[in-house]
């Protein structure tokens, strides 16, 4: 077994944007056009294994030396759309979040020695000076799906594939749960959610989170595809839980109650949804 294939997959979910080739300048557009014609492109598990393998050396390599030329590929209404991995930028952003979480100094130093963190910060600062408008095509959340992400989707966008047990060719395949919608629909849903919140309650974390997600979506092509992938979370919950998961519908129910002026019903719907995801986050601390 290789080092990469033996790395455990973390329990993370992903919000991705796939853009049409027309959104990319040359020569990147031609690169992705050739890339999309490959008979096989890496999937999410392969991306994770590659990134995690960089953390095994001593000292670890938290940010790749070179940018990845890989991407996820999909089709929207017959048009090829791609989601570049951009592993360097995402690694820098993940390290910033790690430091911001306030880990005790000794714990943080054990995970990433100060000399490594200092070099990473300096490299990021130099890179940003050359790429001031850079943004990631992929956002990551560990041990949860942020509730605000569901505001972009409807229940009709849900795609679920059960896992495959047994001894056949696909044996051992994990279940897949994701939502996919167009950028135009995602933006419309987000705008309606913000309007319902602002007309009914004071600004709070949910409103602020939606505003931040909306600003991110504005950076992309209007004919892009937006995807919410449950990723590694499918390994931590029973398949029955996945089969019954309807978070986008539950959030839509709460927002509809807000628009109808029924604050009690809205609070109950959101409370059920928040509790459902709180139970998943709490698994992080279980033995």
Give the pLDDT score at 168.
55
Q: Which string of b and e fits 122-151 if b means at least 16 CB within 10 Å?
A: eebeeeeeeeeeeebbbbbbebbbbbbbbb
Give the pLDDT score at 78.
93
Residue 225 backbone dihedrals phi, psi, to 5 degrees:
-105, 135
Q: Among 138, 142, 93, 101, which residue's Cα sits nearest to residue 120?
A: 93
Residue where the block lists tokens 């509809």: 256
Q: Among 43, 62, 42, 66, which residue's Cα sits nearest to residue 52?
A: 62
pLDDT along the chain (287 residues), means of 10: 41 94 95 93 71 57 74 94 87 71 69 77 78 83 92 97 70 85 98 94 89 96 97 90 95 95 93 92 73
Element housing 178 (H / E): strand 176-182
Q: What predicted TM-score, i.e. pTM, was given to this entire model?
A: 0.84
């Amino acid at each position: 077994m290789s080092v990469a294939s033996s790395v455990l997959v973390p329990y993370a979910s992903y919000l991705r944007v796939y853009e049409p080739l027309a959104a990319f300048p040359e020569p990147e557009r031609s690169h992705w056009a050739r890339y999309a014609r490959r008979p096989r492109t890496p999937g999410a598990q392969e991306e994770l294994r590659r990134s995690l393998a960089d953390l095994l050396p001593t000292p670890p390599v938290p940010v790749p030396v070179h940018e990845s030329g890989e991407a996820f590929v999909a089709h929207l209404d017959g048009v090829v759309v791609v989601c570049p991995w951009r592993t360097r930028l995402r690694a820098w952003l993940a390290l910033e979040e790690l430091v911001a979480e306030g880990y005790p100094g000794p714990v943080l130093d054990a995970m990433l020695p100060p000399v490594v963190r200092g070099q990473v910060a300096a490299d990021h600062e130099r890179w940003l000076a050359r790429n001031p408008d850079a943004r990631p095509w992929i956002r990551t959340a560990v041990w949860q799906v942020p509730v605000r992400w569901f505001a972009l989707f409807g229940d009709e966008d849900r795609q679920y594939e059960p896992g495959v047990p047994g001894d056949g060719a696909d044996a051992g395949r994990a279940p897949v749960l994701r939502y996919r919608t167009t950028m135009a629909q995602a933006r419309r849903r987000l705008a309606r959610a913000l309007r319902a919140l602002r007309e009914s309650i004071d600004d709070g974390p949910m409103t602020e989170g939606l505003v931040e997600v909306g600003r991110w979506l504005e950076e992309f092509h209007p004919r892009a595809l937006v995807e919410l992938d449950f990723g590694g979370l499918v390994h931590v919950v029973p398949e029955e839980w996945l089969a019954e998961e309807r978070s986008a519908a539950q959030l839509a129910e709460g927002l509809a109650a807000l628009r109808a002026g029924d604050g009690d019903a809205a609070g109950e719907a959101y409370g059920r949804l928040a509790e459902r995801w709180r139970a998943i986050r709490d698994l992080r601390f279980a033995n």
